[in-house]
Amino acid sequence: MNKFDKLFFLFVFFVLCFSIALFSADRVTGKMFATRSEVIANHGMVATSQPLAAQIGIDILKKGGNAVDAAIAVNAALGLMEPTSNGIGGDLFAIVWDSKTKKLYGLNSSGPSPKALTLAYFKKKGLKRVPYYGPLPWSVPGCVDGWFELHKKFGKLPMKTILTPAISYAKGGFPLSELISYYWQVSVKRHKKYENFQKLYAPGGKLLQKGDIFKNPELAKTLALIAKKGRDAFYKGEIARTIVKYSERVGGFFQYEDFADYQAEWVQPLAANYKGYDVWELPPNGQGIAVLQMLNMLKNIDMKSMGHNSAQYLHTLIEVKKIVYEDRARFYADQKFVKLPLKKLLSPEYAEERLQLFNPEKALREIPYNDAKIEKGDTIYLTVVDKDGNAVSLIQSNYAGFGSGMVPDGLGFCLQDRGALFSLEEGHLNVLEPGKRPFHTIIPAMVTKDGKPVFSFGVMGGAMQPQGHVQVLLNILEFDMNIQEAGDAPRFRHTGSSQPDYGVMKDGGTVYLEAGISAQVIKDLLLKGHNISKTRGGFGGYQGIWIDAERGILIGASESRKDGCAIGY
């Protein structure tokens, strides 16, 4: 090859490279990191983490059901199809916008610890923490009562109609989707010692793969009994007695009264205003107000000028998160047992006071308490909006994956392990007490503007949830991303903050960063003193529906970190 040929070859090579760079973008419209377009419809919409369950919600809407009917049907299906994250052995929280009364309603359907379980028992056993698995972390499942409370107040269709799709799938079977099958396999290996778990979730000793058909006739029977006899079948009838009998056999502390006395609680959602939008969360025993505390602090800072996911932007979010999570560790607990300074925690003056701890140039290594192991957690989130403008933001969970790993005889579901989040430190507001609800991580959210709902959304994933809520909201309200882009954008997750059940922050904790955050940003964060790491998971799972009342349309999003989708009609 002569000199001229070499020069011509190099010219062609650079032209081709330039052409590829110029014309081979991942997307024609929107941000390059977006995984897909938003879903747009005008009669109704469902967004959740499993497509077959989302379709069930649409079918319920088409039958004349409303958003609450559809949400219950979807949740029932998810308990079958995604038991790695939720089920009727777990708890439920919801925020509902009712188009008739034009009001927001909050439901706390989390259950208390057994009345016979005391702190003295753990001291006698020499335990420093409530274990994650087995019978000790059990708390009364609130999910089923939550369904019936929602249905009694807002539902239209009979519960038999609402639960029939989940019952049919439980009898006939469904194919496992990709991410769910991954977590399913992990859990089957983890819970080798629990015989009922293995019989149910590894039928015939088989480790189920993506696409394998799973049937759960035991759950079908349980759901059919609930559909026929109502919530009392679960809390005062055959199901409660079966759980208590199983508890007695395996060393648990459940008594019949724990179930018979249970009642979900309607609560008033709390709000913080950010950029003219009111962001609504539920009060403790959940962690939702951490979102409001963070927003109250961040609105005193010009976040947009920093640039999205710049080092200064991420540093600011991380440091504010650290400060708020110290309050979360100290103050968030069951308000039936302790009086919490909520008014102070959510005041503008308190936000400014706590912001004094923020150093724009250096990462905090520790944070003092003010006077005024939660990183794990698998959860489902769903949101539904119907043709009349009713909106449901609902989140439900077993806590750690399949929960405690323990399946009561013949019922087809795991009992949750939410009690693992109690502190065993005497004097702590979240200390374990008989009949007390533990600190909770799962939080639904709703956004209103001028008194009307505009955005129903949630981000799953234990302690990631408040961090995820804030990141999604800022992506929309500061950086004008659409709701699909807002969920797909690369995220950070900070771990190591003080926890409501144990420990304090050590050496500033660890910041995990998703792919898509530049090497220069990582370098700058290191220079500010952050401990940086990368991981493939743990950044939550998001779904959302934007309500555009002016144009009469609904805009849905479901990110690629989960198996789900948004479906409209």
Q: Which residues does residue 560 pair with via DSSP β-bridges, in sequence order?
A: none
Report residue 425: phi and psi, to 5°: -95, 115
* Per-position b or e across 330-356, b if 16+ CB within 10 A of its CB: bbbbbbeebebebeebbeeebbeebbe
Backbone angles phi, psi at 128, to 5 degrees: -90, -20
Integer CA distances (angstroms), 14 to 2, 8, 9, 21, 24, in order: 19, 10, 9, 10, 15
Cite the beta strand spans of 224-303 per DSSP E.
265-267, 270-274, 277-281
Q: Give me the helix-helix angle, 159-172 and 67-81, nearest 10°.
A: 20
Q: Which amino acid is at 447?
A: V
Considering only CA atoms, give the Rg of the chain.
24
Q: Which residues pair with 397 in a beta bridge?
A: 91, 379
Q: Which two tokens stand for residue 545?
A: 């529906």
Whether the Cβ atoms of residue 355 and residue 300 lie closer than 8 Å to each other: yes
To 10 degrees, what angle do helices 217-229 and 67-81 make? 150
Q: What single-letter DSSP state applies at residue 286?
A: B
Neighbours of 451 (CB within 10 A): 9
Cα 76 from chain centroid (whole Å) = 16
**3-class DSSP state of 534:** strand
Q: Are 116 and 136 in contact (CB under 8 A)?
A: no
> What are the DSSP calls for 141-182, one per residue?
--HHHHHHHHHHHH--S-HHHHHHHHHHHHHH-EEPPHHHHH
Q: Coil, strand, or helix at residue 493?
A: strand
Residue of 164, 379, 441, 448 marked active site? 379
Task: Give the Å distances, CA to CA, from 108 to 43, 96, 202, 443, 488.
Answer: 29, 12, 33, 10, 29
**379 classed as catalytic:** yes
Contact criterion met (CB below 8 Å) for 48 and 74:
yes
DSSP letters of 191-212?
A: TTT-HHHHHHHSGGG----TT-
C-alpha–C-alpha distance, residues 290 and 466, integer Å: 6
Distance CA 203, CA 82 (A): 16
Q: How many residues does the chain have?
A: 569
Three-class SS state of 383: strand
Cβ(51)–Cβ(179) under 8 Å?
A: no
Among 376, 274, 387, 372, residue whose Cα is nearest residue 331? 372
Please list the active-site residues. Answer: 379
